[in-house]
Amino acid sequence: MDDKKVLSNMSVKENNRDSLTLSLHRTEALFDGILAIAMTLLVLDIKIPNPEGIFTSADFLQTLGEMHLTFIKYFTSFFILASIWIANNREMHYLEKTDNTHMWLNLYCMFFIVLIPFTTSVQDDLSSIPLAIILFHMNIFFVELFILLRWLYIKNHKQLIKVGAVKKEVLQKHIDKSIALMIVPLIALVSTFVIDEYSNLLYFLFFFVKRKR
């Protein structure tokens, strides 16, 4: 009888462990899918303005030149999404399992990620309105905010981390990096009142932060 109880308890623990691991894998798969869709939707919003007025290669090149801000916005948004994907892979590499709070932090982050194609399109279509550009910067701010909250949660709930996978100092570096990346969209937001659409170029600071940290 005792042996049966022991085996039963072991089976329950194993099932719980598998369930938690599965949840982590499913969260990662959902996150990857959301990012892939968001990246794809970005390019679908790029359209040649007034194609009826293009008759020669020179007209076409001139039109592409006039669209340089559109391409900057597209590249910036794609670059941000790519950096989020890399950061998420790094985070998941450290984790053994997830829990309800961690999954919800991921879902909140995904909510703002799926808005990126929309806010990118809005700031391009309504480029003369500062609020449209600010909306994009606030979108990126909230994405980075929830990434920061995820790292803070992981640091305070070490049972989620694989044994020996990461040191406390490394976790703190990720938190410091997330704080720096969260400041970038705020700088871009303020600069909107000075350089308008070119404030998107400030997101190249993401690369500087990621390389220097």
DSSP 162: P
Q: Which domain holds residue 150?
A: 2-212
How far is Cα 200 from Cα 104, in angstroms, rounded to an integer? 29
Instruction: Tell me the residue ranges of DSSP E strands in the chain.
Output: none
Count of domains for the chain: 1
Closest CA to 156 of 180, 175, 177, 176: 175
How much is the pTM?
A: 0.83
Listed in sequence order, the residues at least 6 apart from 102 whose beta carbon sits closer than 8 Å to its beta carbon are 150, 153, 154, 157, 160
Closest CA to 122 of 45, 10, 181: 45
Each residue of 19-46: b (16+ CB within 10 Å) or e? eeeebbeebbeebeebbeebbebbeebe
Kindly report, residue by residue over 85-117, the tens digit of the pLDDT. 998 998 988 998 888 899 999 999 999 999 999
Kindly report, residue by residue over 114-155, the tens digit of the pLDDT. 999 999 999 998 988 999 999 999 999 999 999 999 999 999
How far is Cα 83 from Cα 91, in angstroms, rounded to an integer? 12
